[in-house]
Amino acid sequence: MLEFIKYQIINASQASIVFFLVFMILLCAAGLYGIFRFFHRYRMIADTPTSKIRSAHQGFVELEGQGRLMQGEPVISPLSKKKCLWYRFKIEKRVKEYDIGPRNNFSLSNSNWETVNSGVSDNLFLLLDETGACVVDPEGASITPSFSKTWYGSQAFEVTDSTSADGVLVMASSAVNNRYRYTEQRIDIDDYLYILGRFKSLGGRREAVDKSGEVRDLLAKWKKMPQLLLARFDENDDGEIDIREWQKVMAAAEQKVEKNLTERLVNQEIHTISKPVDSRRPFIISVQDQDDIIQKYRHFSIGSLIGFFLSGTLFFWVLGIRLAN
């Protein structure tokens, strides 16, 4: 068998060998990337202790608890019309390409799916444990949902209770008119969640106060509204803010910031978790158990390592055979 493969390599065209070697290089690069990415996540999750919301430190933390909706308008998935914490959906249309035969007859040459609509929710939701509640901002997170289904229909928005993702899936081959494919992922209410991300507390006495920075931000915001600034502070109506008037602008900004800080410090403390500022740190939201997540990334890193060595070995083996002949 090995001799047969060598014979095929020796007699293969130059273009085929080049294509194979380039493909192996890409696989090797993908394996190397996977090794660092998945092993890094594996160690991050394994080495980060689980915190309680009330006592969590400010910064990169790991939390576990139940997901709940915040007060206000509920989050409803566009396809299955279910209340949820988070959703992602996609609607695709089957596009067929035909070839014209010698007798002007048409034959199907290719069929693929083209996305006609898609979206992902960015609504905030709550994570609750026995010590408190934390506001979750899912934007930018690597999310493992509790619900993920694909089904088919004949219209772009044919989504009813009978054809929802919670119903029986209809395979594309079972009906001629199934020209659309729907995909939906959800995190449902009360799902038990694992979250790894940037924890920050707002309000209360734990919030770091940068009064001068907030004053600068407010002044920069006011400068973008020159007409309002002139209407409020241009006392001599000359169409400009002079030095004396600008001192009053600064005093007004400091007074407003002081008021806002006082209100925030006396209000109840609000905990949040979101995407870390440091891009090297992952932001993970998962319905899986922590041990399962650790095992998943460990297996991914091992698989990437195997792929890296296999693709590298094949590259040098094929290259050596060709150079020797």
Of the candidates 262, 254, 253, the residue with the CA atom closest to the CA atom of residue 222:
253
pLDDT band at 313; cut points 50, 70, 90 = very high
pLDDT at site 264: 64
Query: Among residues of the chain, what percentage have pLDDT more than 90?
Result: 47
Q: What is the 3-state secondary structure (H, E, C) of 82-99?
A: CECCEEEEEEEEEEEEEE
pLDDT tens-digit map of 170-217? 333 344 457 889 999 999 999 999 999 999 988 665 556 677 888 898
pTM: 0.68
Whole-number Å distance between alpha carbons of 64 and 67: 9
pLDDT exceeds cutoff 80 at 1: no
pLDDT at site 84: 95
pLDDT exceeds cutoff 90 at 142: yes
∠ Cα 159 188 140 (to 5°)? 95
